[in-house]
Amino acid sequence: MTGPPQRFSSGVDRLWFSSAGRSTRRAVKQAADLILPTWCVGCGAAGADLCAECSIDIRLLTRCPFRAEGAAEALPVTDVDDAGVQVLPVTSAGFYKTLVADVVVAFKDHERVGLKRVLAPALARSVRAAAERTLSTADPLLVWPPTSARAQLRRGRSPVEELVTAAALPAGLEPAGAVLRRKSGGMLSVTGRRGQKGRSKGGRRAAVAQFTMAAGVPRSLVGREALLVDDVLTTGATLHGMYAALTEAGVHVRGAAVLAVTPRAGKAQDTSLSAANLR
């Protein structure tokens, strides 16, 4: 028999895990962060989520975007010619290690939402460099991956979309985040950091087929140029999935911009980004 106390606690559970409950908890946490002392994600100094010195360091670590497609083994092949196999060109603002990794993780997973003030300009630098490197038309699309249901449930927010929205984007680039959706049940079993070499052929195919065009996307996208954007490049499987869905729909994906690349994926890259290096 269910007495009033049990009924009360199951009601609290329902409220706690409801979307209204989640947003209330987030609002309370954010309000508490404003009142309570906080500390620097980089050096632990009290006072701000990122102190002045660490804010300068982040800018230094992300100030020169570079070619990052090097060893990301799951990127799509875009051309095979005399020069060899060409993969989708990816530009990154920084390496996903040390302070950059700490700040990205704090922003994405630890609700340090204020850190977008340093991450959005870094992403904007990467997008600008990628656009100059790869785009040729006046009205290209900027497409980012839809948040997975699991990540949406866990975080209740979409960090990449927040950064794109806060970034000063090059003129003419049209944010088009809603054009892709995730196929249900697709990617979960084949993602991870194992990389493509450890995957079966079927696993690789599933990774590529993780996205589809959202219902109701206008036909006017056909023939448009697009630049992909994401937060971290690891194997390139996410970018490959986006590339496959958009290409099948007739969109010309020219390249991608990321905030940071894992050192393994970006290894063997010349990190200077002179104009010559970008061609």
Which residues sit at the interface with Zn ion, rule CB under 5 A?
40, 42-43, 45, 51, 54
- Minimum gap (Å) between residue 59 Cβ and Zn ion: 13
CB of 31 or CB of 43, closer to Zn ion = 43
CB of 113 or CB of 129, closer to Zn ion = 113
CB of 102 or CB of 230, closer to Zn ion = 102
- Minimum gap (Å) between residue 38 Cβ and Zn ion: 12
- Minimum gap (Å) between residue 112 Cβ and Zn ion: 13
CB of 113 or CB of 118, closer to Zn ion = 118
Nearest to 273 by CA among 87, 65, 76, 49: 65
For residue 112, the 8-state DSSP code is -
Q: Could you report how far apart the first and last alpha carbons of the chain are, in Å?
A: 73
Q: Which alpha helices (DSSP H) does 67-112 contain, by range?
A: 98-109
Residue 126: exposure state from Cβ atoms within 10 A (0-12, 13-18, ≥19): buried
Nearest to 262 by CA among 211, 192, 208: 192
- Minimum gap (Å) between residue 120 Cβ and Zn ion: 19
Outline where DSSP puts E strands in 27-182.
66-67, 77-81, 84-87, 90-95, 141-143, 174-175, 180-182
- Minimum gap (Å) between residue 44 Cβ and Zn ion: 7
CB of 43 or CB of 168, closer to Zn ion = 43
